[in-house]
Amino acid sequence: MSQLILLESADKRPDQGVVEIGFGHKLNKTMLMSPPSKAIVYEQHGSPDSVTRLVNLPPVEVKENDVCVKMIAAPINPSDINGIEGVYPVRPPVPAVGGYEGVGEVYSVGSNVNALSPGDWVIPSPPSSGMWQTFVVKEESVWHKIDKSCPMEYAATITINPLTALRMLEDFVALDSAGDSVVQNGATSIVGQCVIQLAKLRGISTINIIRDRAGSDEARESLKALGADQVFLESQLNVKNVKSLLGGLPEPALGFNCVGGNAASLVLKLLRCAPNISVFVHFHLTSRCAEGKVKECREMIDYLLGLARDGKLKYETELVPFDEFPVALNKALGKAGRQPKQVITF
């Protein structure tokens, strides 16, 4: 098992002839090495704003099947936060570098790598830990080459939320574009916004539930602009005959829950008599992409990137320089109210 070795000073650099790692271990200078890297690391689980810190990492050997990637951008997702807190089902052993998705440019490749070349843009697919650092070394199989024409912020964020939305629409029920609908809570999330747009492209109606809170009128109009057919506050659905509020829309054949509690019961009330309800989480997505479906997932990613490039899939992001990570983290933690998706640029 590889070990994460931390350097505390940016002045610690390999000398020209050999690379020193840990307690005097030396690597022959003929080995291909990555540049030193700066990374957001956590050495124990806990609140991300307390346990994460910026450290300097020594060069890493780029083995024959490895690819060294210079990261361009990586988001801060809820799954990243939950992983650091230690409550997420999929998490690396500590100490660990944060981040599960992002986009980077190939910097160097091992001797057995043929499908990727320096300058290519790549993303980890399935998502892979350790993306919050300037240089990442992983096996070639981890990386998926993408078209550089897609905007950076979408390339960095396509692998988890948009792909989850697409898989939810395709994996559970055969939806009929001639008259089916879906219902979801948490509709203002990135996944929720993607569900609305992807369903619209397929001729499927969406019924969307949002929380009662300040800014809900603006949120409703924003979702309508994306193509939402109906947007309800949770309080509007606390009526006896809730399905009468659907108007001319068909009763939904599929429901998505990301909130739980009363919001989940509202989704169930709106479903047809034989309900199908999915809890959408990154864990499900990781399992789907790991079960012999990597090629299928990557084809879906290319499709989604094409939509984003053509302006048919949109969501708000905020680009933040890497040295301002604490500011972005506070926003991602909700300390500054509702914020766009925080995307770190390297």
For the stretch 164-190, pLDDT in tens is: 999 999 988 888 877 899 999 999 999
Greater confidence, 2 or 297? 297
- The predicted model scores a pTM of 0.87
Give the residue numbers annotated as catalytic, written as ranges: 88
Lowest mean per-residue pLDDT among 65-79, 89-103, 107-121, 134-148: 89-103
Whole-number pLDDT of residue 176: 83
Percent of the chain with pLDDT over 90: 72
Confidence of residue 281 (pLDDT cuts 50, 70, 90): very low
262 vs 277 pLDDT, higher one: 262
Q: Is residue 13 one of the residues assigned to a domain?
A: no
pLDDT at 292: 67
Per-residue pLDDT, averaged over 228-251, amounts to 92
Query: In the prediction, which pLDDT does 260 show?
Result: 82
Split into its structural domains, the chain has a count of 2
Say yes or no: 239 and 218 in one domain.
yes
pLDDT band (50, 70, 90) for residue 91: confident
pLDDT at residue 247, as a whole number: 87
State which of 260, 282, 304 marks the end of a domain: 282
205 and 328 assigned to the same domain: no
Domain-embedded: residue 326: yes
Q: 86 with 203, same domain?
A: no
pLDDT value for 214: 85
Is the pLDDT assigned to residue 136 strictly greater than 50? yes
Same domain, 155 and 206: no
Give the model confidence (pLDDT) of 194-210 as tens digits: 999 999 999 999 999 99
Q: What are phi and psi of 119, to 5 degrees?
A: 100, -20
Q: Are residues 254 and 183 in the same domain?
A: yes
Q: Cα(251)–Cα(270) distance, rounded to whole angstroms?
A: 7
Nearest to 107 by CA among 64, 62, 147: 62
Q: From 233, 260, 282, give the residue that closes a domain.
A: 282
Asked whether residue 295 is assigned to any structural domain, the reply reads: no
Please tell me whether residues 33 and 151 are part of one structural domain.
Answer: yes
User: Cα dihedral sign for 285, 96, 323, 20?
Assistant: negative
CB 102 within 8 A of CB 74: yes
- Signed CA dihedral, 5, 10, 15, 16: sign only: positive
Could you tell me the pLDDT band of residue 268, with boundaries at 50, 70 and 90? confident
Give the domain extent around 131: 19-159+316-345
- Return d(Cα 339, Cα 333) in angstroms, integer: 10
For 17-97, where are the E strands, in sequence order? 19-21, 25-27, 37-42, 52-57, 66-75, 96-97
- Say yes or no: 146 and 186 in one domain: no
Q: Are residues 166 and 150 in the same domain?
A: no
Q: Which stretch of 8-22, 224-238, 269-283 has the lowest confidence by average pLDDT?
A: 8-22
**Does residue 220 share a domain with residue 118?**
no
The one-letter amino acid code at 237 reads L
Interatomic CA distance for residues 208 and 165, integer angstroms: 14
Q: What is the CATH number of the domain that holds 124?
A: 3.90.180.10
Asked if residues 99 and 131 have their Cβ atoms less than 8 Å apart, the reply is: yes
- The predicted pLDDT at position 171 comes to 87
Tell whether the model's pLDDT for residue 137 goes beyond 50: yes
Q: Are residues 63 and 168 in the same domain?
A: no
Distance, in Å, from the CA atom of 273 to the CA atom of 57, rounded to the nearest integer, reads: 56
Instruction: Answer yes or no: are the C-beta atoms of 192 and 184 closer than 8 Å.
Output: yes
Q: What pLDDT score does 13 carry?
A: 32
Alpha carbon distance 68, 246 (integer Å)? 52
Give the closest residue to 144 by CA, choosing from 299, 261, 279: 299
